[in-house]
Amino acid sequence: MGVRFRGWGMAVPDRVVTNDELSQTLDTSDEWIRERTGIRERRIGGSSGSLGALAGQRAMADAGVSADSIDFVLLATTTPDRIAPATSTAIAAELGLTCPAMDVNAACSGFMFALRTAQGLLETGNKRILLVGAENLSRWVDWNDRNMAVLLADGAGAVVLDYDENGGDILSFVLGTDGTAAELLTCEHGGYFQMDGKEVFRRAVRVVVDSAQEAMERAGITSEDISLVVPHQANIRIIQAAAQRLGIDMERCVVVLDRYGNTSSSSIPLAFFDARENGRVHSGEYALLTGFGAGMTWASAVVRWS
């Protein structure tokens, strides 16, 4: 499989909203939010298009590639700025691109589903893809609902992906959907996110563990070989429970939800960016990327950085 990760970028709004600030208007507390979710603060503001374009620009600069070499823009988002046109077209325009651009929505698994789509595009003739995860979840939060308001946030992450005929960084991919669980986590047109948090929690741990185990098996490795886990950032307790079942200690798991909350499609690229900035990504090592989201959807991939 010939997909190489070339360069990464991220963008978050400047506005920091702390747990204490939320506690001023909601019946909640910093202590409850930190203990039950791991979140300390989050970023709120911007739009999926503006944050996505900035993250994309930074990923291209990081990769050292020019905009005219990109031949496809894929945006993973649950919160497009408009129903039409696709927000990816706004990102393409902002970056001066006229190549094909489209949105992918698989909720919090969106980045992984779009990565799988990018893989298919690269293996069938495309040379270089800009893959962006961008969310503006705050727009779809009822700020009087403590169940959702403490969790969701805004942000974007992006990666440049190249085709390499000599091999690739993605060793295995496992994705799935259970549409019968749709009502557990929804957002209607003009409405707000609503969730059965307990049931999402329970199922999330199961699908992450099952898909991760299968992805490792397909890659011919075990959890001992994994140096880094880049999980979807929903709740520290979900990450801890899944890691424990997989036999992976928390030191190998990337956690950024304390600073950014749950940014859905953006959370895996944000977490990866943070890990790389902190010197945790090393050539030749195995990483597990894993996520879950509304749908329900789930996805795990084993990656070996080149």
Which parts of 233-292 interact with ligand ACO (CB under 6 A)? 234-235, 238, 262, 264
Among 37, 87, 88, 266, binds ligand ACO (CB under 6 A): 37
**262 counts as catalytic:** yes
CB of 143 to ligand ACO, least distance (A): 12
Residue 192 found at the interface with ligand ACO (CB under 6 A)? no
CB atoms within 10 A of CB 29: 14
Instruction: Report, in Å, the least distance between residue 266 CB and ligand ACO.
Output: 11
Single out the residue of 197, 213, 221, 252 in contact with ligand ACO (rule: CB under 6 A). Answer: 197
Catalytic residue among 19, 105, 126, 232: 232
Give the one residue of 2, 18, 34, 36 binding ligand ACO; rule: CB under 6 A. 36
Cα dihedral across residues 262, 272, 248, 207: positive or negative: positive
- Least Cα distance to 285 among 204, 212, 211, 227 occurs for 227
Count of positions on this chain that bind ligand ACO (CB under 6 A): 25
Interacting residues with ligand ACO between 88 and 147 (CB under 6 A) = 107-108, 146-147
H or E element: which one contains 207? helix 197-219
Asked whether position 198 contacts ligand ACO by CB under 6 A, the answer is: yes
Binders of ligand ACO among residues 216 to 235 (CB under 6 A) are: 234-235
Give the span between the Cα atoms of 185 and 182, in whole angstroms: 6
103: alpha, beta or left? (left if phi > 0; alpha if psi -120 to 50): beta
Cβ pair 297, 177 in contact under 8 A: yes
**What binding mask, one character per residue, do residues 4-33 give for ligand ACO by CB under 6 A, x or -?**
------------------------x---x-
By beta-carbon distance, which residue lies closest to ligand ACO?
197
First to last CA, the chain: 13
Q: Under the criterion CB under 6 A, does residue 201 sit at the interface with ligand ACO?
A: yes
- Residue from 44, 60, 115, 185 in contact with ligand ACO (CB under 6 A): 185
Q: Which span sits near ligand ACO by CB under 6 A: 90-98, 194-202, 217-225, 240-248?
A: 194-202
Residue 67, CB half-sphere, CA atoms under 13 Å: how many?
Answer: 15
Structural element, H or E, at residue 299: strand 297-304
Candidates 19, 126, 136, 262; catalytic one: 262
Cβ contact 297:107 at 8 Å:
yes
Tell me how far, at minimum, the Cβ of 2 lies from ligand ACO, in Å: 31
- Residue 187 annotated among the catalytic residues of the structure: no
Between vectors from CA 108 to CA 15 and to CA 3, what angle results, nearest 5°? 105
Whole-Å CA distances, 75 to 66, 293, 301: 19, 16, 19
Say whether residue 158 binds ligand ACO (CB under 6 A). no
Listed residue (89, 109, 99) closest to 200, CA to CA: 109
Enumerate binding residues for ligand ACO (CB under 6 A).
Answer: 28, 32, 36-37, 78, 107-108, 146-147, 150, 185, 193, 195, 197-198, 200-201, 204, 234-235, 238, 262, 264, 293-294
User: What are the catalytic residues?
Assistant: 108, 232, 262
